[in-house]
C-alpha cells in the first residue's frame, strides 16, 4: 500500500473512473472531503455538465478493490491528474516494442523461394502462350479470356501478365517449353 499516492487535499483536481475501469477515459473531479489518507469524497463533472457526488472513493490501485469490488463498482476510483496519459503512453510504447519484436521475428523467419514466382502453372502458361501469339495489342486480355473461356476473366489474364512480364517477350526458358512428340 506504500505505492499508493496520498489522498489529495480538499479543492484539488483528480480524475475519476466510473466503476474503476482505467481503460476508459476518466472524468474530471474535485475533492470535496478527505476522509483518510486512502479515501476521499469528490464531485465528478460528467460530460452532460452535471456534478455528481461520489462518496468513499479510493485510488485505482487500492487493494480493497480486489477484496471487495462492490465499492469500486458503485463509487468508482480516483487517480492523480496526468496518470491516465502516462498509462496510455506506456501502453503505446509496449505495443510499439511488441510490434517491432514481431517484425524482427518475422524478418528472421521469412524465407523467399526464388523459384516461386518464376514458374507458372498450366493455366498461367496457357495465358502466356496465347498472349505471346497475339502480341502487344489493345484488348489482348479480353481476347485471351474469350479464347480460353472456362471462367477465365480479363482481370485474371492481366494478373498473370503482370506476374510474369519477363515471359511475354524473348525466348521462353527451356524448363517451360513443352516437348511435343
Range 82-88 average pLDDT: 88
Residue 113 lies in a domain: no
Residue 54 lies in a domain: yes
pLDDT confidence tier of residue 133, bands split at 50, 70 and 90: confident
Domain count, the chain: 2
**What is the model's pLDDT at position 141?**
87
* Domain boundaries, position 49: 13-84
Residue 48 lies in a domain: yes
pLDDT confidence tier of residue 174, bands split at 50, 70 and 90: low
**What is the model's pLDDT at position 180?**
43
Residue 40 lies in a domain: yes
> Is the distance from CB of 106 to CB of 99 less than 8 angstroms?
no
**Do 126 and 68 belong to one domain?**
no
pLDDT at 181 > cutoff 50 = no
**What is the model's pLDDT at position 12?**
92
The verdict on pTM exceeding 0.75 is no
Amino acid at each position: 500500500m506504500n505505492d499508493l499516492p496520498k489522498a489529495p487535499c480538499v479543492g484539488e483536481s483528480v480524475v475519476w473512473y466510473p466503476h474503476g475501469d482505467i481503460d476508459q477515459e476518466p472524468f474530471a473531479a474535485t475533492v470535496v472531503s478527505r476522509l483518510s489518507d486512502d479515501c476521499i469524497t469528490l464531485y465528478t463533472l460528467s460530460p452532460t455538465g452535471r456534478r455528481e457526488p461520489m462518496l468513499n472513493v479510493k485510488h485505482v490501485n487500492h487493494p480493497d478493490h480486489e477484496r471487495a469490488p462492490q465499492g469500486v463498482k458503485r463509487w468508482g476510483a480516483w487517480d492523480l491528474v496526468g496518470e491516465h496519459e502516462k498509462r496510455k503512453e506506456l501502453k503505446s510504447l509496449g505495443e510499439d516494442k511488441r510490434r517491432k519484436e514481431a517484425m524482427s521475428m518475422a524478418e528472421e523467419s521469412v524465407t523467399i523461394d526464388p523459384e516461386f514466382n518464376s514458374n507458372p502453372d498450366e493455366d498461367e502458361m496457357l495465358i502466356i502462350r496465347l498472349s505471346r501469339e497475339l502480341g502487344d495489342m489493345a484488348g489482348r486480355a479480353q481476347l485471351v479470356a474469350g479464347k480460353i473461356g472456362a471462367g477465365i476473366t480479363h482481370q485474371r489474364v492481366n494478373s498473370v501478365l503482370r506476374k510474369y512480364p519477363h515471359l511475354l517477350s524473348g525466348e521462353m526458358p527451356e524448363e517451360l517449353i513443352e516437348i511435343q512428340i
